[in-house]
């Protein structure tokens, strides 16, 4: 199951709240939505979680050459882009997150999780597949909790619902 330490550290993301305007606006063609600090923080964390998943799957594809890892990694890249689009359209500077090499994370708890997942999955293809299932189960749990327990904008809810559907398809 998920390392509870990660959930506790969501608030410790390296966000510089002084750089965040409290009335950030996202526009899709018909809707203008004001993002709260909590929405921004959650989106940045979600972006990092999607990067973690993509990096793990890329590593396992390179290690085992199993096409399933490449397919899911490509999907995780699309998930990252969906979250990234909201952040960029909201004028949130995520350059520090975008510029990180594969397997590197600003959040120490995510770095530790990545290292542990790679270590476990590097033992065998079966272990790597089990790590993949764990990643998707954690994503599903996080997304369900976020969707059910937070009052986010329709745009964010739609993205989270799409991410949830994607994770469910991966399992």
Residue 162, pLDDT score: 62
Q: How far is the C-alpha of 129 from the C-alpha of 121, rounded, in Å?
A: 7
Write out pLDDT tens, residues 50-75: 999 999 999 999 999 999 999 999 99
* 92-123 per-position pLDDT tens digit: 889 999 999 999 999 999 999 999 999 999 99
**pTM assigned to the model:** 0.75
The CA distance from 65 to 19, in Å, is 42
DSSP per position, 58-116: HHHHHHH--HHHHHHHHHHHHHHHHHHHHHHHTT---HHHHTPPTT--SSHHHHHHHHH
Q: Which of 124, 158, 123, 128 is nearest to 143 (CA)?
A: 158
Q: What is the pLDDT of residue 113?
A: 95
Per-residue pLDDT averaged across 115-143, rounded?
93
How many whole angstroms separate alpha carbon 116 and alpha carbon 112? 6
Are the C-beta atoms of residues 48 and 103 closer than 8 Å to each other? no
Averaged pLDDT for residues 137-147: 82
pLDDT per residue over 30-49, tens digit each? 344 567 888 888 889 989 99
Which domains are delineated in the chain? 39-125+133-170 (1.20.1260.10)
- pLDDT, mean of residues 121-136: 96
């Amino acid at each position: 199951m998920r390392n509870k330490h990660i959930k506790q550290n969501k608030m410790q993301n390296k966000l510089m709240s002084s750089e965040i305007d409290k009335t950030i606006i996202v526009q899709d063609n018909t809707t203008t939505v004001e993002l709260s600090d909590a929405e921004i923080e959650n989106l940045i964390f979600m972006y990092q979680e999607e990067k973690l998943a993509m990096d793990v799957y890329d590593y396992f594809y390179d290690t085992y050459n199993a096409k399933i890892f490449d397919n899911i990694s490509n999907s995780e890249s699309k998930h990252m882009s969906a979250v990234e689009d909201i952040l960029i359209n909201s004028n949130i500077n995520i350059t520090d997150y975008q510029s990180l090499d594969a397997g590197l994370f600003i959040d120490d708890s995510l770095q530790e999780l990545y290292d542990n997942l790679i270590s476990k999955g590097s033992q065998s293809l079966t272990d790597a597949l089990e790590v993949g299932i764990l990643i998707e189960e954690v994503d599903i749990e996080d997304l369900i909790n976020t969707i059910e327990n937070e009052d986010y904008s329709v745009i964010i809810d739609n993205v989270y619902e799409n991410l949830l559907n994607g994770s469910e398809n991966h399992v």
